[in-house]
Amino acid sequence: MNMPRLGYLGTGLMGEPMVMNLLKAGYEVTVWNRTPSKCDAAVAAGARRAESPVALARQSDVIMACLTNAAAVEAVLFGEDGVAEVTGPQLFVDFSSMDPGLTREFAERLRTANGMGWVDAPVSGGTPAATAGTLTIMAGGSAAEFAQAEPLMAPLAQRVTHMGETGAGQMTKLVNQIVSGCTMAVVAEAVNFARVMGVDATRLTEALAGGFADSKPFQLLAPRMARETFENPLGTVAMMLKDLDTIAEVGGDRAELPMTDSARALMRATCDLGHAEDDISTLILTLKGRT
């Protein structure tokens, strides 16, 4: 069977390494990014550059995207020179994180516009997993659409789970972000507490490895927080805050979210200090400033 031609919208922190892994797997990939220079590395590795989402769609059988938010997804699909203007691509696989209700709405709009199917496939694992091809993907869509998308995601992930119909992947990602976002805030609190109390915070991951306090976020973030080294972001404060805000909106008055609300407050304060686009580890600076 011929390998489908892939289009990839969004070559930022997560998208670029994902494209690299698709290229390594032998796929023909066409890329587009709102800031064209962010496609340069992918193009140098063998991808083709498109001048617009509609141009990308004309060269693709399946289109993937990893974009900042729902507004960005809507713009590339339904805005001027958007994907919806083209008939031909079979499937849209969205790795972005957004409101499950908007996912269902956009999927129906796209199907009506040009007949494309939709798989919402948000990811977890941050830039290290995106680079290694070991992301965790939680997917929503029909069984047939998931079956079409699953082998295309194999070069990107260590685990891909079909969670149900359209929107189920996004709802599962919100569950993931409750655990992840609150853990990030707690790690910052623990590292700051250690520092204030005279414990060598740079040795925490060694000391707590394998115990109940250990976790992947702890192992990745505690050393960065302890040393205040924020280069090569694992993920930005703004991106996590966006997801936690979505959780609050979706949960409304149906779900109690006290820990999520506390994590949101810490992240919003960190954004207010000018670290919105910096690594999530900069949460430690907000707590340090209050101590």
- Residues marked as catalytic: 173
Task: Give the whole-angstrom CA distance, residue 30 versus residue 84.
Answer: 17
How large is the greatest C-alpha to C-alpha distance in the chain, in angstroms?
Answer: 63
The CA–CA distances, whole Å, from 207 to 185, 190, 218, 227, 281 equal: 20, 13, 12, 16, 20
Distance from C-alpha of 158 to C-alpha of 180, rounded to nearest angstrom:
18
Phi, psi (rounded to 5 degrees) for 201: -65, -20
Strand ranges (E), 204-249: none
- Report the run of H or E that residue 9 belongs to, with start and end: strand 6-9
Count of residues making up the chain: 291
Residue 9 near residue 65 (C-beta atoms within 8 A): yes
Distance CA 127, CA 2 (A): 30
